[in-house]
A = this chain, B = another copy of it.
Amino acid sequence: MTTAEPACTADQLPSAARGGPVGMTLARAARAHRIAMGRRLRELGLYPGQELMMMVLWDCGAVRQSELIHSLGLDPSTVTKMLQRLEQCGLVLRRPDPSDRRAVLVETTEEGRALRGGVERAWSDLEESSLAGIGPDDRAELARLLDLVADNLREEAEEAGDCPPLNC
């Protein structure tokens, strides 16, 4: 034993998570994924999370802030602050909605649009890197199962209160 003794069962599944091994694996993989994405985004001058907001703006043109909130599933205050920073960086432009003086319209600037290629490349590149050695069938299976999980959790979330008055 030349290695300093691990002092306990380090690096393995914590025993308190034995009842949720898949969830733990999901959390681990997603964290690594987010970190790897963060590495790529840093070279573009973005922080993790911001690229998702930019994606919506690239797709939608001028959007109401409430649309962003709903589309990203984030807290309104989170969106406000992210937009303030993105605006200060010159990536985004905000102006009052003439048809509703409460609302704010958001759109990307030219500088913001310039990042699109880099972000798309980052996502493709990370996809290839993270799925290396996994065949197309397994990839599809993974996506299918993750979607099922997301559906289950979305159902639970709706029961838990954040149910927008769509069906109730």
A binding-site residues for B, Cβ under 8 Å? 6-11, 14-37, 39, 51-52, 54-56, 58-61, 63-64, 67, 70-71, 73, 116, 119-121, 123-124, 126-127, 129-134, 138-139, 141-143, 145-150, 152-154, 156-157, 160
In Å, the complex CA distance between A16 and B18 comes to 37
Nearest residue (CB) in B for A131 is: B22
Number of this chain's copies in the complex: 2
For A55, list chain B residues within 8 Å (CB): 14-17
Contact partners of A32 in chain B: CB under 8 A: 149-150, 153-154, 157
Interface contact A124-B9, CB-CB below 8 Å: no
Are A146's CB and B25's CB within 8 A?
yes
Min CB distance A58 to B, Å, is: 6
**A67 to B143 Cα, complex, angstroms:** 35
Question: Closest residue to A60 on the B side, CB-wise?
Answer: B8
15 A–B contacts, CB within 8 A, in A order: A7-B60, A7-B64, A11-B71, A14-B56, A17-B120, A20-B124, A22-B142, A22-B146, A23-B37, A30-B33, A129-B152, A131-B149, A133-B148, A138-B145, A141-B141
CA of A30 to CA of B36 in the docked complex: distance in angstroms? 15
A35 to B30, CA, bound (A): 13
Contacting residues, chain B, for A33 (C-beta < 8 A): 23, 26-27, 30, 149, 153
B123 pairs with A16, CB closer than 8 A: yes
